Amino acid sequence: MNRYLLTMLNNVRIVLIGTTHPGNIGAVARAMKNMCLRSLYLVQPKIYPSAEATARASGADDLLARARVCGTLDEALRGCRLVIGASARLRSVQWPCLSPGESARRLLHESAAGEVALIFGRESSGLSNAELDRCHYLVQIPSNPEYPSLNLSQAVQVLSYELHSNALQGGVDDAPLPAEVANADALEDFFRHLQQAMDELGFSDPRQSKKLQRRLRRLFLRARPDPVELNILRGILSAAQGRKSMRRC
């Protein structure tokens, strides 16, 4: 594999959230190393480091040694331009959903311009709605509808294989790549500002707030604003908040 393709794969973060069993972390590291992935982020693992993780890694100890342990998902996604969440469950709110092959091509396409993330939830419950709110897309692995749940390391292996296979075949999206997009942390700052402004302006109904915020997240994640556009939007929010304060005086 040439250096360019390796760089693309190195820019893909595998993010595990709240992993309960340390053996699964080791098995994930082994699956990643099989497919030339190197960047492992662990968000609040229950037990880590662990001898069981090292044993299950079977020679992928270097990935475990480099793994970043994070206190929050915000920390794990810092600087990422694209985030895709893996989920086996259908949700009440519709997220844009990709097949494993589509998600691999999208991640590789974006990784040519910066870091991207593929996130996996807890073994028992997967990703929460709040965690899915951070994702531009959702990926589901086709499986037996009567038994759709894969082991965590199996899910990572399937999606890692798609990344590696598409990198080898040059299977990258041909769509124009945005030169610069607001990264995950800038978007979270914007969403917090948006919620604050809506509350101050009296626009947000507490009974509908979560549903409305989720729809607005879908809108802006779909739009992929760049940093300048995001600053313009935040300036508009600040101006509206200022006018509201002036009327109170």
Q: pTM of the entire structure?
A: 0.91
By CB atoms closer than 10 A (0-12, 13-18, 19+), residue 216 is middle
Residues 79, 53 contacting (CB under 8 angstroms): no
81 closest CA partner among 204, 210, 221: 221
Measured CA to CA, the distance from residue 74 to residue 189 in angstroms comes to 10
* Residue of 133, 145, 138, 153 whose CA lies nearest to 218: 133
Percent of the chain with pLDDT over 90: 71
Render pLDDT for 56-103 as a digit per residue (tens, 0 to 9). 999 999 999 999 999 999 999 999 999 999 987 655 567 789 999 999
Model pLDDT, residue 171:
58
- Higher pLDDT among residues 4 and 138, named by residue: 138
What confidence tens digit (pLDDT) does each residue in 137-166 have?
A: 999 999 998 887 789 999 999 999 999 999
Is residue 135 helix, strand or coil?
Answer: coil
Q: What is the pLDDT of residues 12-27, one digit of tens each?
A: 999 999 999 999 999 9
* Cβ partners under 8 Å of residue 223, min gap 6: none
pLDDT score at 207: 66
Q: 120: helix, coil or strand?
A: strand
Kind and range of the H or E run holding 107: helix 100-111
Does residue 249 surpass a pLDDT of 60?
no
**Are the C-beta atoms of residues 84 and 109 closer than 8 Å to each other?**
no
Tell me the pLDDT band of 247, cut-offs 50, 70 and 90. low
pLDDT at 176 over 70: no
DSSP string, 47-76: S-S-HHHHHHHTT-HHHHHHPEEESSHHHH
